[in-house]
Structure 1
Amino acid sequence: MRMLLLLCALAFGCNLQAETITLTNGEWSPYLGEKLPHHGVASRIIEEAFAIEGIQVKWTFYPWARALRTAENGKSSGSAVWRRSPEREQSFFISDPVVDTSYYLFHRKDRPLDWQQISDLRDKRIGGAIDYNYGPAFQQAEKNGQVHMQRLSNEEQAIRMLLAGRLDALPMDKVVAFDLLRSKFSSAERHQLSFHPLPLNSDSLHLLLSRKVAGNEALLQRFNLGLQKLRDSGRVSKYLLEVQQPVSLVP
Structure 2
Amino acid sequence: MNTAGKILTTLIAMLLFVTPLSAQTVKLANGEWAPYQSESLKENGFISQFVKEIFEGEGYQVEFVFLPWKRGFEDTKKGQLDGSFLWSKNSEREESFLYSDPVISLSSSIFQRVDKPISWQNLSDLSKYKIGGVVGYSYVTDDLEKQGVLKVQRIAKPDGNYKKLAAGRLDGVLEDTDVGYEAVNRLGLSGKIEPNKKPLSTREYYVIISKNSPRAQELVDAFNKGLAKALASGKLKQYREASNKGEYKKP
Q: TM-score range by the shorter chain?
A: 0.7 to 0.9
Number of the residue aligned with 1:104 = 109
Q: CA deviation at 1:191?
A: 4.8
**TM-score for the superposition, normalised by structure 2:** 0.75
> For residue 42 of structure 2, what is the aligned residue in structure 1?
37
**One of 10, 18, 21 as aligned partner of 2:27:** 21
Query: What is aligned with 1:207?
Result: 207
Render the CA deviation track for 1:56-98: whole Å, top value 9, x for unaligned: 2222334545554554565543322133334433443222222
Q: Distance in 2 between matches of 1:73 and 1:111?
A: 50
Inter-partner Cα distance in structure 1 for 2:120 and 2:175: 16
2:141 is aligned to 138
Q: What secondary structure is seen at the aligned counterpart in 1 of 2:40?
A: coil
Alignment partner, residue 116 of structure 1? 121
Which residue in 1 is equivalent to 2:225?
Answer: 225
1:128–1:171 Cα contact (<8 Å) kept: yes
Q: Does the 8 Å CA contact 2:29/2:73 hold for their aligned counterparts? A: no
Question: Could you say if the C-alpha distance between residues 149 and 212 of structure 1 is closer, same or farther in structure 2, counting changes exceeding 3 Å?
Answer: farther
- TM-score of the superposed pair, with normalisation by structure 1: 0.75
Structure 2: runs of 5+ lacking an equivalent = 247-251
Structure 1 pair 71/126, CA: closer, same or farther in 2 (3 Å)? farther
Preserved CA contact (<8 Å) 2:38 2:44? yes
Residue identity opposite 1:107 in structure 2? Q
Query: 1:1-251 alignment to 2 at 5 Å?
Result: 5=10, 6-29=12-35, 31-64=36-69, 66-68=71-73, 70-72=75-77, 74=79, 76-108=81-113, 112-122=117-127, 124-129=129-134, 132-134=137-139, 137-142=140-145, 146-185=149-188, 189-245=189-245
1:20 touches 1:56 (CA, 8 Å); kept in 2?
yes
TM superposition outliers: structure 1 runs of 4+ over 6 Å = 1-4
- Pairwise CA distance, 1:111: 5.5
Cα distance in 2 for partners of 1:45, 1:111 equals 35
User: Matched residue of 1:12: which SS?
Assistant: helix
CA distance 1:142–1:71, shift in 2 (3 Å): farther
Bigger mean CA offset, 19-28 vs 85-94: 85-94
Q: Residues 234, 124 of structure 1: CA spacing in aligned structure 2 closer, same or farther, 3 A cutoff?
A: closer
SS in 2 for 1:97: coil
Look up the SS of the partner of 2:50 in the other structure: helix
Q: CA-atom RMSD, angstroms?
A: 3.3
Flag the structure with larger Rg: 2
The alignment partner of 1:147 has SS state of coil
Counterpart CA distance in 2 for 1:77 and 1:144 is 42
For structure 1, the residue ranges without an aligned partner over 5 or more in a row are 247-251
The letter of the residue matching 1:228 is A
